């Protein structure tokens, strides 16, 4: 008993911000129950900076009872809490059958002045349509939506403080997306993932327009559905003004000329690029004349635009000649500073050797990524710790290691 009491006293004596951090790492149900530990703990949960609501918040024997108890619990917590910075809802809104109640919950957030980061993860197989009241939450700095859809109300004036936007499986038309982005001028990170639906040709919203609306963006991650209309019609050789892009992740079909021209234009126009991630798809389906001539114009400019590149990854690599030419071009770009490139001879010791990408002895490690990049929001940001490596994950082959000498032989 004395040992337990001493441990409790040690935890209770921690600074308030440390206690709040500990509580955010616990399921919300358990964090709320800490109010019975002592007077010191009674109100700690009320200042937690992050609240995550899911179906485990309450216990119920039936679906109707779960709906009733869950809605009441959410309203109760939001009413008493002094204002979290981050709110996350991970719920199957459609299965629980409380769309109307959830609309009311969202409406209540418009008066929460402290809410800066909002995550709505609808775990249902069907889309949840955001209510008009959602667009009244004007103080948002970060927004993540999963399995949702929306249309903009005529009164929408934008999220003028929004900096990070993550959409996964969000059903939204090209025009609505363009209008949305044009009213979020401070956006620095845009992630558009998932969602498959045929687009209408006249509904194009192109990369050129996107960069005009969000000139401060430095992280861009685009899945193949959005690539279809953003790259439609291609792009010019280079944009008139340089982009601020540092981290770029794109789903790429090299069989499509518009996609190729868009990629090359983005690279030419981004002198600060540090990380590149490409997820290849359908490269073997559409026959085109594979020629390195597509990359000749780019080669003259790459030494100016890729001198800060520290990481380059391709997933779904099929060893097609066009892919090999593109990869070779990236790897042979002169680097401003030597990169840390791991050699097989150092695997057992964990040592690394600084070499430039053009060094004939440089071995490019290629490793299989166990996670699915297509389903991972923010995949580019996860590459930071591996700076200096080029990782190639073959589409249907075992992971391989090539030196640039071997690349030259293959191409």
* Residue 331 pLDDT > 90: no
For residue 8, what pLDDT is reported? 53
The residue whose two tokens read 């327009």 is 209
Cα angle 251, 309, 256; round to 5: 25
Three-state DSSP at 292 gives: helix
- Write the pLDDT tens digit of every residue in 46-83: 888 999 999 888 887 776 788 888 889 999 999 888 87
Contact residues for 287 (Cβ-Cβ < 8 A; gap 6+): 255
Rounded to the nearest 5°, which phi and psi values hold at 203? -100, 30
Q: Which ranges of 93-235 would DSSP assign to H, the alpha helix?
A: 93-96, 99-109, 174-182, 207-213, 224-230
CB 211 within 8 A of CB 217: yes
Three-state DSSP at 33 gives: helix
* Residue 354 pLDDT > 50: no
Q: Which residue has the higher pLDDT, 72 or 403?
A: 72
Q: How far apart are the first and last CA of the chain?
A: 72
17 beta partners: none
Rg (CA), the chain: 25
- Cα separation of 118 and 164, whole Å? 10
Q: Which residue has the higher pLDDT, 13 or 215?
A: 215
Q: Mutual orientation of helices 296-305 and 257-268 as an angle, nearest 10°?
A: 30
- Cα separation of 204 and 229, whole Å? 5
- Range ranked top by mean pLDDT from 81-95, 137-151, 324-338: 137-151
* Residue 366 pLDDT > 50: no
- Cα separation of 410 and 395, whole Å? 17
- Range ranked top by mean pLDDT from 126-135, 252-261, 317-326: 126-135
Report the percentage of the chain scoring pLDDT > 70: 69
- Cα separation of 279 and 151, whole Å? 29
* Residue 338 pLDDT > 70: no
For residue 94, what pLDDT is reported? 75
Contact residues for 135 (Cβ-Cβ < 8 A; gap 6+): 152, 153, 155, 156
Confidence of residue 387 (pLDDT cuts 50, 70, 90): very low
CB 95 within 8 A of CB 127: no
For residue 395, what pLDDT is reported? 53
* Residue 225 pLDDT > 80: yes
For residue 332, what pLDDT is reported? 65
CB 250 within 8 A of CB 277: yes
Confidence of residue 268 (pLDDT cuts 50, 70, 90): confident
What's the whole-number mean pLDDT along residues 189-214?
80
What's the whole-number mean pLDDT along residues 330-338?
56
For residue 386, what pLDDT is reported? 38
Sign of CA dihedral 372, 377, 382, 383: positive
- Cα separation of 320 and 330, whole Å? 16
CA distances from 102 to 68, 72, 134 (A): 12, 11, 11
**pTM exceeding 0.85:** no
Q: What is the largest CA-CA distance in the chain?
A: 78
Q: Which residue has the higher pLDDT, 44 or 39?
A: 44
What's the whole-number mean pLDDT along residues 337-359?
37
* Residue 330 pLDDT > 80: no
For residue 399, what pLDDT is reported? 42
* Residue 411 pLDDT > 70: no
Three-state DSSP at 53 gives: strand
Taking residue 392's Cβ as centre, other Cβ atoms within 10 Å add up to 24
What's the whole-number mean pLDDT along residues 37-52?
84
């Amino acid at each position: 008993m004395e040992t337990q009491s001493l441990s409790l006293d040690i935890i209770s004596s921690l600074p308030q911000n440390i206690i709040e951090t500990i509580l955010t790492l616990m399921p919300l149900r358990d964090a709320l129950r800490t109010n019975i530990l002592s007077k010191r703990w009674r109100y700690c949960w009320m200042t937690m900076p992050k609240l995550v609501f899911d179906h485990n918040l309450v216990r119920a024997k039936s679906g109707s009872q779960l709906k009733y108890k869950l809605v009441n619990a959410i309203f109760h917590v939001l009413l008493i809490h002094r204002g979290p910075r981050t709110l996350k809802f991970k719920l199957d809104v459609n299965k629980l059958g409380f769309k109307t109640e959830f609309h009311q919950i969202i409406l209540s957030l418009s008066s929460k002045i402290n809410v800066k980061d909002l995550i709505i993860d609808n775990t249902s197989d069907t889309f949840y349509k955001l209510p008009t009241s959602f667009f009244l939450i004007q103080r948002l700095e970060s927004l993540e939506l999963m399995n949702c859809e929306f249309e903009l109300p005529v009164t929408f004036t934008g999220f003028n403080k929004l900096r990070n936007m993550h959409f996964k499986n969000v059903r939204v038309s090209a025009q609505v997306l363009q209008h949305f982005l044009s009213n979020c001028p401070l956006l620095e990170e845009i992630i558009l993932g998932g969602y498959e639906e045929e687009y209408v040709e006249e509904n194009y919203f192109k990369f050129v327009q996107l960069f005009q609306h969000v000139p401060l963006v430095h992280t861009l991650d685009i899945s193949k559905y959005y690539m279809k209309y953003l790259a439609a019609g291609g792009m010019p050789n280079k944009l008139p003004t340089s982009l601020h892009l540092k981290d770029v992740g794109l789903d790429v079909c090299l069989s499509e000329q518009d996609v190729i021209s868009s990629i090359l234009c983005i690279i030419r126009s981004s002198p600060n690029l540090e990380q590149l991630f490409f997820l290849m798809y359908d490269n073997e389906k559409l026959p085109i004349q594979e020629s390195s001539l597509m990359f000749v114009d780019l080669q003259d400019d790459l030494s100016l635009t890729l001198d800060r590149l520290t990481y380059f990854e391709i997933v779904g690599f099929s060893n097609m000649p066009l892919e090999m030419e593109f990869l070779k071009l990236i790897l042979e770009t002169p680097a401003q500073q030597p990169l840390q490139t791991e050699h097989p001879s150092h695997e057992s010791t964990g040592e690394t050797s600084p070499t430039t990408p053009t060094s004939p002895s440089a071995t490019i490690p290629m490793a299989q990524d166990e996670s699915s990049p297509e389903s991972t929001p923010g995949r580019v940001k996860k590459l930071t710790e591996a700076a200096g490596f080029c990782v190639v994950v073959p589409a249907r082959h075992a992971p391989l290691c090539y030196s640039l000498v071997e690349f030259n032989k293959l191409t």
